[in-house]
Structure 1
Amino acid sequence: MTSSFSITSAIADPGLLDLPWDLPLDAWPDEFIAALPKGISRHLVRFAHLSGHVVAAKETTSEMAHGEYEMLKTLQRLDVPCVEPLAVISNRVDAEGDPLPDVLVTRHLKFSLPYRALFSQTLRPDTATRLVDALAALLVRLHMIGFFWGDVSLSNTLFRRDAGAFAAYLVDAETGKYYDGGLSTGQRENDLEIARVNIAGELMDLEAGGRVDEELDPITVSNGIVKAYRSLWTELTGPESFSSSERWRINERVNRLNELGFDIEELAIRTTEGGTTVRIQPKVVDAGHHQRRLLRLTGLDAQENQARRLLNDLDAYAARYGKKDADEEMIAHEWLAKVFEPVIRAIPRDLRGKLEPAEVFHQLLEHRWFISQNESRDIPLAEAVSSYVNEVLRHRRDEATMIEPSTGMLTLPLSIVDDADEDDWRSKV
């Protein structure tokens, strides 16, 4: 590269020097471009290959590029689901020495898709509702740490599949502001109204293009984010009063929050004079209850609902083989080695870009239950894997960013533990 430019980055990646920063993004040669589905953006965004990965490059003003870069770093530090900021490229000039816009570079989130890419033909009401519910959960998490988004929409969000639901990730933070002291009710309601209006507009746009099911009502679906948000916010932060004889409701509240995927670090408990009434209120709530347990036990990093499903299978494995009273970490290691890992290894290499491993395992369990019901018999895991691969997975489109060419089918036979005998490795897929 002969032109001058500046790179602001916390990650030293020499590959950034090889990209054609002396050209406007819309003039980049095809050799640098990765063909991935994009959401709607007010700025020009291109996906590019960088050091074996894919990155998103967005042209914007210098102030916005640096501001969003720092904001995304802050959100990552606070463990909020968002894209990873890599660099800001500034002081760009073209071959004639004319200035070019600054570029924010973020890492593409593997297995994520913009909402318009999550349906092949028409958007069904249940899919739209699941997307809105995921966005509501993300908005609650953002508000709890004091982040005002300012432009909440489906377009500014990426979605990953999460065991029948979706997990939402913030992808555009240029309008966001972080308040260390938290948000006021008015700020939260403002963000919520922005979300409702934007979602209604996005769905109406799809409706005008004939891309939604005729039963889908954009207003009803967009109003759903208000209901979902307020329900979750109340559960996480609202006070609860009950008789002192009903102390079991303290554990019930904690269990409900855990089921929603949140942990409580502190619980304020107050009693009235005479001890007739108890009032409780969560003080600090962190998301990812099942994620953390699964990571601690197995080292697997999954979405929250995926983690819940995998943990349920782990618990069922312990019960099935009479190991419920054994050491939890030992059982988790055994389940990982004899159930989860053999299943994932049995997926042909050319199909591994279809879905995340945890989502593959979840869908396999769903498929196994379905064919077991249809055939009125217990389906061995090996048989279920073979059926799932050939009847379901092979017909899905890839949702990962696969840079390297596919290497075809695995040549070594890989074993799957059979439920009838956990030590029987004779079943092959």
Structure 2
Amino acid sequence: MSIRLRATRPDPALIRLPWNVPLADWDPALDVPLARGISRHVVRFVRAGDTVVAVKETRESFANREYGLLRNLDRIGVPAVKAVAVVTGRETPVGEPIEPALVTRVLPQSLPYRSLFSHKLREDTLERVIDALVLLLVRLHLEGFYWGDCSLSNVLFRRNTDELEAYLVDAETGELHENLSDGQRAYDIDLLRTNAFGELLDLQAGGMLGDEDDAVEIVDQIVQRYEGLWEEITGIEEFGLDEMWRIQQRIERLNERGFDVEEIDIVTDLGGDYVRIQPKVLDAGHHCRRLRGLTGLDVPDSQARRLLNDLDAYTASHELGDEDSMTVAHQWLTQVYQPLEEMIPTEYTDVVETPQVFHDVLVHRWALSEAAGHEVDFFETARSYIENELPATVETLRTAAAAT
């Protein structure tokens, strides 16, 4: 058999997988036990060297197209799984053709929506799922990506500080344009409404969603939040000259959601009494880019914002405000962040990541300090959290990940 592997950085371990066997017949010993979502394709999670990948059988044209789309989404910084390879030319030992395969990198510490609701991590899981899904769809549309198959099933959710972040998993029906028309956006929203309604009913039938939760109201809420966020980002606002503070307020609201403002189009009326503004928004990631530039850490935006807040607090408490920001960031990295990273037991690192543990330690510190009536030392708090709280968190996440 002569297979063709299209990949940017092919791993020899990937080439050694049994491509002459249909995925459905692969040895179960190859499988990595991960939470599995609903898919119309045969999908296997396997290890290729140090990387866990998802292998999906599909048509060659679909595989190549999705591979290219996922690479472009990665290039522009949209939350999506990363393409690894397309494998074509597959045949059985007797020469029977086997469907090509798309290989993507498995997103660490992520769960499909059914697993989230099987083991609720918080009471407001549904609210956080809606917010994450809406933000993902808005970001995709801002980048000119028409999804064509919006649904909860085609998204993975990953914990990001106290929020969830949604990642696109299936781009098979997607299209990347310079800009989307209102009609294309409306069609995506209508698809999401239809698909999410069915998925919510399925959750309800399985006892994973309360009877008091109305699926119609929930999908209406999804659409309303999408429209509200889209208007916040792209809408035109008009106000009087004595309300110029509203420009900064608009920018701050966008920054809080993780969006940068490249410039603002400001138009005054003929009489000079009113101002009309429309921000030109860059892709989301204001905080993660700043943190990466200062420390080299590459983490989701909400976690980056929390780490930057702690870096700012560190700068103030050590009276380093006049020092070079890169020097201070390196000092914080080596004296605070990395020592905490070394404290996390190695047996937990397959489930938790340092930025999330850092956030949880800070939350734990607030609770301890409030109970003690004074500020508790950071590393004393870290030891308390790792000994008393982290084991239960890890167990909960592992249980949820094992649910299928």
| Amino acid of the structure 1 residue aligned with 2:14 | L
Out of 18, 37, 42, the position equivalent to 2:16 is: 18
Instruction: Report the counterpart of residue 113 of structure 2 in structure 1.
Output: 115
Out of 211, 216, 222, the position equivalent to 2:213 is: 216
Residues paired across the two proteins, number? 398
| Amino acid of the structure 2 residue aligned with 1:115 | Y
Asked if structure 2 preserves the Cα contact closer than 8 Å seen for 1:125 and 1:215, the reply is: no
- The Cα offsets for residues 351-407 of structure 1, whole Å up to 9 and x where unpaired, read as 222212111100111112123334444322222112211222112337999xxxxxx
1:6 deviates by 2.1
Stretch moving more, 322-331 or 379-388 = 322-331
Instruction: Report the counterpart of residue 275 of structure 2 in structure 1.
Output: 278
Change (3 A) 1:111 1:122: closer
Counterpart Cα distance in 1 of 2:354 and 2:191:
35
1:123 deviates by 8.0
Instruction: Report the counterpart of residue 307 of structure 2 in structure 1.
Output: 310
Unaligned runs of 5+ in 1: 402-429
Out of 306, 319, 322, the position equivalent to 2:319 is: 322
Change (3 A) 1:123 1:362: closer
- The Cα offsets for residues 121-146 of structure 1, whole Å up to 9 and x where unpaired, read as 35866101101211110100110111
Counterpart Cα distance in 1 of 2:371 and 2:202:
40
Instruction: Report the counterpart of residue 167 of structure 1 in structure 2.
Output: 165
Change (3 A) 1:300 1:215: farther
Counterpart Cα distance in 2 of 1:97 and 1:51:
28
- The Cα offsets for residues 69-94 of structure 1, whole Å up to 9 and x where unpaired, read as 11112212222111111111122111
Counterpart Cα distance in 2 of 1:388 and 1:123:
18
Identity %: 48
Unaligned runs of 5+ in 2: 399-404
Q: Is 1:89 equivalent to 2:87 in the alignment?
A: yes
Structure with a larger share of its residues in helix? 2
Counterpart Cα distance in 2 of 1:20 and 1:199:
36
Out of 368, 385, 388, the position equivalent to 1:391 is: 388
Change (3 A) 1:322 1:173: same
Counterpart Cα distance in 1 of 2:25 and 2:244:
66
| Amino acid of the structure 2 residue aligned with 1:278 | V
Instruction: Report the counterpart of residue 333 of structure 2 in structure 1.
Output: 336
Q: Secondary structure at the match of 2:271?
A: helix
Higher relative contact order (CA 8 A, sep 6+): 2
Counterpart Cα distance in 2 of 1:163 and 1:28:
37
Counterpart Cα distance in 1 of 2:391 and 2:204:
31
Counterpart Cα distance in 1 of 2:117 and 2:379:
30
Question: What aligned pairs does 1:11-410 form with structure 2 within 5 A after superposition?
Answer: 11-121=9-119, 126-180=124-178, 182-397=179-394
Counterpart Cα distance in 1 of 2:299 and 2:116:
20
Q: Secondary structure at the match of 1:39?
A: coil
Counterpart Cα distance in 2 of 1:225 and 1:299:
35
- The Cα offsets for residues 26-68 of structure 1, whole Å up to 9 and x where unpaired, read as 1111332211111111111101111211110001112211111
Asked if structure 2 preserves the Cα contact closer than 8 Å seen for 1:355 and 1:399, the reply is: no
Change (3 A) 1:369 1:216: farther
Counterpart Cα distance in 2 of 1:291 and 1:112:
19
Q: TM-score if structure 1 supplies the norm length?
A: 0.87
Counterpart Cα distance in 1 of 2:120 and 2:256:
32
Change (3 A) 1:41 1:318: same
Counterpart Cα distance in 2 of 1:350 and 1:221:
39
1:239 deviates by 0.8
Counterpart Cα distance in 1 of 2:385 and 2:196:
35
Q: TM-score if structure 2 supplies the norm length?
A: 0.92
Counterpart Cα distance in 2 of 1:355 and 1:334:
24
